[in-house]
């Protein structure tokens, strides 16, 4: 006979899979049609679940979008902050500032391969939706926080260009590694991801550091 614990675990697993289907369906629709044109009903239909199931799992369309964005940025469903991810920890720990920059760009690039289209959905919708404007502002703030930690690491390695402070370095990195620039070059101008990566590494090294250019 199945124990209550096993039934609970099975239910949790089914709920997890259902949430995943909803987020995948919503991501496809948000990217293809935009935020305003995507309805809860259309998400439910694509995910092959009931509308009430979507409401039960997330509550609002905005919550679906923010959850989908969180999953895309992280690459999984684990609640691990960016700076605690292995690539970020390795970038901060390396004594080589050039390698730090390479790892920063690699990490940002992997995030944008997954999340750039959804970030563009949020950015585009923010002008007409106050709640999404707040989501976008939070995302910018979070990205700046990450870049400031990386800038401080370069300063601690005595690698920042003379006269360049940590705050300004973080602003420069935030701009160069922005999803807007990624979308412009990769999506709009047709750059390969590897070309964007090489450009971003070169730009960060030139703008921020005294490290040899590569």
Could you give the CA distance from residue 84 to residue 80 in angstroms, rounded to a whole number? 6
pTM of the model: 0.87
- The closest alpha carbon to 147, from 114, 177, 110, 122, belongs to 177
What mean pLDDT comes out for the span 92-114?
Answer: 97
What mean pLDDT comes out for the span 11-29?
Answer: 91
State CA 133 to chain mean position distance. Answer: 16
pLDDT at res. 6: 42
* Three-state DSSP class for residue 160: strand
pLDDT at res. 4: 47
Is residue 10 very low, low, confident or very high in pLDDT (cuts 50, 70, 90)?
confident
| CB-based contact 30:118 (threshold 8 Å) | yes
Q: By percentage, how much of the chain surpasses pLDDT 90?
A: 87
Q: By percentage, how much of the chain surpasses pLDDT 70?
A: 94
Residue 20: is its pLDDT beyond 60?
yes
Question: 42-81 pLDDT, tens per residue?
Answer: 999 999 999 999 999 999 999 999 999 999 999 988 889 9
Could you give the CA distance from residue 51 to residue 65 in angstroms, rounded to a whole number? 16
The class level of CATH for 80-214 reads mainly alpha
What mean pLDDT comes out for the span 138-157?
Answer: 97
- The closest alpha carbon to 118, from 72, 57, 80, 175, belongs to 72
Range scoring the smallest mean pLDDT among 5-14, 95-104, 177-186, 192-201: 5-14
- Residue 180 neighbours by CB under 8 Å, 6+ apart: 123
Extract the tokens encoding 129.
Answer: 């939706």
Extract the tokens encoding 189.
Answer: 């101008």
**For all residues of the chain together, what is the average pLDDT?**
93
Residues of the chain with CATH 1.10.357.10: 80-214
What mean pLDDT comes out for the span 82-108?
Answer: 97
Between 135 and 79, where is the model more confident? 135
Residues of the chain with CATH 1.10.10.60: 1-67
The class level of CATH for 1-67 reads mainly alpha
């Amino acid at each position: 006979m199945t124990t209550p614990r096993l039934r609970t675990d099975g239910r949790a697993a089914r709920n997890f899979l259902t949430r995943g289907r909803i987020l995948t369906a919503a991501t496809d629709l948000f990217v293809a049609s935009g935020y305003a044109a995507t309805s809860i009903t259309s998400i439910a239909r694509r995910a092959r679940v009931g509308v009430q199931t979507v409401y039960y799992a997330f509550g609002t369309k905005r919550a679906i979008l923010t959850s989908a964005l969180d999953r895309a940025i992280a690459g999984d469903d684990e609640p691990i902050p960016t700076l605690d991810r292995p690539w970020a920890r390795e970038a901060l720990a390396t004594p080589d500032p050039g390698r730090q920059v390479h790892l920063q760009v690699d990490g940002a690039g992997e995030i944008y391969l997954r999340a750039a289209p959804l970030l563009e959905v949020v950015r585009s919708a923010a002008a007409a939706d106050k709640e999404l404007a707040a989501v976008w502002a939070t995302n910018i703030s979070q990205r700046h926080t990450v870049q400031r930690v990386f800038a401080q690491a370069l300063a601690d390695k005595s690698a920042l260009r003379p006269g360049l402070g940590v705050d300004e370095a973080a602003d420069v990195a935030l701009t160069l590694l922005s999803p807007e620039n990624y979308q412009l070059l990769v999506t709009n101008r047709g750059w390969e991801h590897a070309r964007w990566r090489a450009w971003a590494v070169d730009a960060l090294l030139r703008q921020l550091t005294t490290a040899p250019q590569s």
